[in-house]
Structure 1
Amino acid sequence: MRSKVTASLILVIVVAIIAGVINYQGLIAKNTKLVPKLGLDLRGGVRIVLEAQDTESAKATNDAINAAVSVIDKRVNALGVSEAVAVREGANSKRIMVELPGWEDPERAKEIIGKTALLEFKTEDGKVVVSGKNLTDAKLVFSQAQDSLGEPQIAFTLDAVGKAAFATATQANIGKKISIYLDSQVLMSPTVETAITDGQGVISGGFTAEQASNDALLLKSGSLPVKLVAISEEVVGPSLGNAFVRRSALAAVIAFLLVVIWMFVMYRYLGLVSGIALIIYADILMAAYLVLHATLSLPAIGGAILSIGMAVDANCIIFERIREELGMKKTVKSAIGAGFSRAFRAVFDSNLTVLVGTAFLFYFGSGTVRGFAVTLALGVLASMFTAVFASHMLVDLLLTPGIVRNSRKFLG
C-alpha cells in the first residue's frame, strides 16, 4: 500500500515539475514557442464579420464559403499580422469572422480581406487566356524603364499551364492588345509586340506603392470564390485589452482563494488537501494552454475561471461520500477508500457530460465560443487527474495518526 502511494507521489511530482518548467519558460523566460497567445479582446485590434451572398455567377455554397475562409486565411497571414484568425461562424453559417490582433485600420482591412481579386487576361474579342489561378507569385516592384522610372508595378509569374497558354495567346495576338482586368476593371491594355514565353511579366495601372503591394498580396493569395459583404466591424484598443487582462487575472485569483477558503471551512483536513490539489491543477492547466498554443480571450478566460469550480466539484462529491461512509461508523481509512471508489462513477459521468457539451460548442460555435469550449474541456480533463488521482494520493500521504483517531478534525 505504501509503495503504491510512493509511486503515485512520484508521478504527481514529476507531472507538476514538468508543468512548472513549461510555465516558467512561457510566462517568465518568454520562450517564443511557449509565450501565451492573447486574443483580440485582450491584445487589441480589428474584428470584421463578413457574410457570403449569392450572385448570378457564384452561389454561397458550403464548399465556396470554406474555400473563401482558406483564401482569407492566406491573406491575413500574408499581412504579417501575428495570430490573425479567419474562421467560419458555425458549421453551416454564411458568416466568416476575421480577427487581426494589433491592427488599427478597419477600412484597409476590409479592402484587403473582402476584395474578390479576380485577375483575368483577355484578348480583344473578350476571350480569357490566363486568370489569377495560374499565378504562382506576385510581388511589388518598381519600374526600371526610363519613361516610367520608379513607378510601382506588380511582377507576376505563371505556372506551367498559364505559361503555355500565355505564350500561345501572345504569339497569336502580335500587334493586338491583351487587356488585364482585376475584378472586371481594366488595369492596362498593352499591345503585344512579341511572344512572351517565359511566363513572367509586370502589370502597371497607375498604382501607389501601397496599392500595388496590397493587390500583389491579393493575387498571390487567390481570388474569392463567392461575394463577401462586411456586416460588422469592431476596433478594440490595446489599453482596453490591458484592462481586461488585469481584471481577468484578479477575478481568477479571487475565485481561486474563495474556493480554497470555502473548501477548508467545509471539509477541514480534506479541504486543505483540496487546496493543494487545486494548485497542482492550476499548474497543469496553464502548462496545457501554453503547449497547445490555446488563444486566451475573455470567453476563454471565463472558461478557465469556471473550470476552477469544476475542479473542486469532484472533490465535493467524493468528500460528501466519505462523510456518508463515516456516518455509517466506518473507520477513517476505510471511509476514504470507499468514498473515492464509490464516488468515481458520479464524477466520471458529470465530467463526461461537460466534455460532450464542450464538443458541441467547439463544433457549432464561432472563434470566441470555441476558445471557451477548449479552456473548459482542458480544465475538466486536468481536474479528473487532480481530483480523483492526486487528491486520493495526498489524502493517504498526509493522513496522520491523530487525524485518523479524530474524524471531526479530519472532515469537520
Structure 2
Amino acid sequence: MSNSKEAATSDPKFIPASLILVAPRVNSGGVGDYAQELISAAIPSFSCFREIRTGGPGDAGILDLVRYRAQLAEVIDKAASDGPVVVHFELSAASLAPFWLLAGCPRHVIITATVHDPPWAVWWPFRFKSVATRKWLHHGIHLPLRPVSKQFERLALRGTALFALTDVGARALREAFPACTAVAARHFIPSRAALKPAFDRPLAVGLYGHAAKGKGFERLVELRAALPPEVDVIVAGRGTEKLSHVPGVTILGAVEGAEEDAFFESVRAILLPYDKTSRFYGKMLPASGVVSRAFAYGTPVLGFDSGTLGEASKVGGLIAVPNSVQALADAASMVITDQAELERLESEIGELQKEHSVRQAVLPFVSFWRDAVDALPPGREPLP
C-alpha cells in the first residue's frame, strides 16, 4: 500500500524521507491495531508512506516470509529512488513475520522498531504456523534453544533503534540489547466515545482483551468466587467466545464500535489479573493496550503489581495490588462502591487522555526519525 503526500520542505516538522511500516494486519491482534493508529499520526511528517502488513500471532509460515521479504525488498527499492528511507517494524512475542523481515532488512536504510514485549523482541523466533498449533513442539524447540535464540535476537537487531512503551521496558531493552539504542515512549490513549461516569454504571467489573495465555482469563473461576455475588463479571475481546462457561460470568466475545462502547459502559472498572512471568522464559514487560483502551473510555483499572503495571499505577487511573486474586477482588469491591474514589481515578484518567493522545505519543518517534535523517551526509544512504 502506498500513500504519498506533498509537504512543504520549509515546514520544520517535515521529514524529507519515505516511511515504510512493517506490522501485523489490522484486526489480527493488538499490535496491528496499535500500529494503525500510531502510524496514521506519523504519516503527515513524511514525503511518502508505504506498508507491508503480515499475518498476526501464529499466522506466518516459511513461504509467507519469503513472499513478505520479496514485497519489502520491492517497496524499499522504489522508496530509495526518491531519497532516504525509514523502515519501522512492530515486534511482539507472538508476531513472527516482522522480526524475520527486520533480520533480513537491507542496512542501507534507517531501521527502527517498537518492541511490545520487552526485554526480548520476539521470544520464540521459530514459532512458525506449523509450530504454533503444537504446544509440545513449540516448547521442545524453544526451551533448549533459549540461549541461542537470545544471541540470535541480539545479532539480528544489532544497531537497530528500539522503542519501548514504558520506562521499565526501555531499561530492560538496554540490558538485553547493548548494541542498540533504546528509546522510552508511551502507549497512546485512543479517542473514544464519552460514557457516563463510572459510579453511574452497573455494579460490574470487566476483563477485556485478546484471550491469550497470561492475560488473566484462566483465573475467571477463582476471580468470580472471590468477588461479592452482587458484582457482575463481564468478559469481552477477541477469542473470549471460546472460553469455557463460568457460572456468574457473562462472556461477550469480540466487540467493536458501538458494542465496545456498550461493554465499557456496562462496567465500573477493568481488572487485569496479569502475570507475565514464566519460570522457563522469564518475565515479560509489555505495555498494556487494555489499560489504554480502558482509559479511552474513562474506565479505572485494577491489576497485579507486576510487569509494567506498577509503573503505570504511579501515573494515575490505575491501582496495583499484590499478585493475588483475592487481593484484586477485595480492592475492586471497595473501589467500585466508593463514588469519591472512582471520581478521583476518573479525574486522573482525564489528565492522561490529554497527555497521551496519539499526537503526543508519536512525537518521540518522529523526533528520532527526523534526527536520523538529518544526520545522514548529503547524498549518502545510512552506513551498513
| TM-score (normalizing by structure 1) | 0.27
Structure 1 or 2: larger helix share?
1
- When Rg is computed on C-alpha atoms for both structures, the one with the higher figure is 1
| TM-score (normalizing by structure 2) | 0.29
